[in-house]
Amino acid sequence: MTALNGMRVIELAHERVAFAGKLLADMGADVILVEPPGGAAERHHPPFLNDAPGPDRSLWWWHYHTSKRSVEIDLGAPAGRERLLALIDQADVLIEAEPTRRLADLGLDWPDLATRRPTLIHAALTPFGRGNPASDLPATDLTLMAGGGPVWSCGYDDHSLPPVRGLGDQAANTGCHYAVMSILTALLARMTTGRGQFIDVSIHAALNVTTEGGSYQWLVNGTTVQRQTGRHASIVPTGPTQVQCADGRYVNTGVPPRIPAEFAALNEWLNALGLADQLPEAVFLEMGATWQGPFDLSLIGKDDTVTAVFGAGREALKLIARSISAYDFFMGCQRAGLATGIIYAPEEAFEDPHFRARGFDVPVFHPELDRYIRYPGAPWRMPASPWRIARRAPTLGEHEHELFGPEDS
């Protein structure tokens, strides 16, 4: 069985909370998506199947609503509220991203819901927290990422260029990760207390604690990281790690060698490629290969020899990268034990032999199209309670009959 088999989750359709529902649904929870009359706005979110819009053609919708069931409910009407309450009466979890006062105004908020259903876990995902009126001001992924910390740390060495927001709706994704961690924790707590609870998730707060040194450098000693091209924002400028290879693609040269075996492997590879005489720092590379005792990284920039040896490793990697293809660089480095990476487009990773061999892409049947579509698959391999896309995203009102019977729908 899957971990969440038999758990019922009510999700009030909203773009910010969709991923939390998917993470639970693909682990076996029965997630019922409650859409407003006429369907959720996200049904019209591009991209679309064959670029033709339509309520059941949004690929955004397809991805974020796998394994869920759907009903249309008008929460503005008394009958609609009764239908939602009927669902709540059998639910373990409610997840929503509504404006902070909306459910209270409808008489559908915590703690009223707890009186009716004491075992209910109610998770609210808002931009700045349930108690903060700023959560009701308009916000998008870009503005949340700009205000929450990620953007400050991302961009280029050249600070006349704006800082950069990475794509993929990562603000909502991060909020949803925390929502799911909280819900799972509350489910475990409920096993001993027998009671549900209310969970307040702030996307802004979630981003604030997802910035590594952006936050903790300031917290620990009041220093401020500065963004750099393709690598960690830093207090002290660090050497470039991103190199364009002979085939025009980029690689991340990662963490240069730090132990003698890594220096030795790199030196050997450099020689095998016939590039050693092009590296002025080759002598320091050899020094690294025969280094005695601990190689203390905290002395970089303070001890001349440590700095030179570390720098030689980095220069050797850059020289090799410029001389061969990105994929060959990635393979060669990793076989030498060095953590480097090719900078793939997502679809290139999707087609890479490693992820294909692991079965990361999974087929999902779309009966209306009479074909299988390849979807991104499991974030983890959990053999006793496997992740699985049970079905494609629901069409509008698809499960009315199942859930409410013919007379009521």
Q: Which 15-54 residues touch another protein, going by CB under 8 A? A: 23, 27, 45-47, 49-51
Among 211, 265, 329, 394, which residue interacts with another protein (rule: CB under 8 A)?
211
What b/e string do you get for 298-315 counting C-beta neighbours within 10 Å, with b at 16 or more? Answer: eebeeeeebebbbbbbbb
Decide whether 166 or 280 has the Cβ nearer to another protein.
166
Decide whether 38 or 363 has the Cβ nearer to another protein.
363
Sites for another protein among residues 72-131 (CB under 8 A): 110, 128-129
CB of 283 to another protein, least distance (A): 26
- The structure tokens listed for 245 are 């290879």
Amino acid at 363: P
- DSSP letters of 170-237? HHHHHHHHHHHHHHHHHHHHHHHH---EEEEEEHHHHHHTSSTHHHHHHHHH----EEEBTEEEESS-
CB of 386 to another protein, least distance (A): 10
CB of 96 to another protein, least distance (A): 15
Decide whether 229 or 305 has the Cβ nearer to another protein.
229
CB of 127 to another protein, least distance (A): 9
Is residue 295 a contact point for another protein (CB under 8 A)?
no
Total binding residues for another protein by CB under 8 A?
Answer: 153
Binding mask 130-159 for another protein (x = CB under 8 A): --x-x--xxxx-xxxxxxxxxxxxxxx--x
DSSP E strand stretches across 235-378: 242-244, 250-252, 341-342, 361-366, 371-376
Is residue 337 a contact point for another protein (CB under 8 A)?
yes
The residue to which tokens 């020094």 are assigned? 287
Is residue 385 a contact point for another protein (CB under 8 A)?
yes
Decide whether 179 or 282 has the Cβ nearer to another protein.
179
Q: How far apart are CA 145 and CA 167, in angstroms?
A: 10
Among 101, 116, 232, 401, which residue interacts with another protein (rule: CB under 8 A)?
232
Q: Are 315 and 321 in contact (CB under 8 A)?
A: no
- The structure tokens listed for 203 are 């996307």
Among 117, 228, 263, 264, which residue interacts with another protein (rule: CB under 8 A)?
228
Length of the chain equals 409
CA dihedral sign, ordered 368, 372, 376, 379? positive
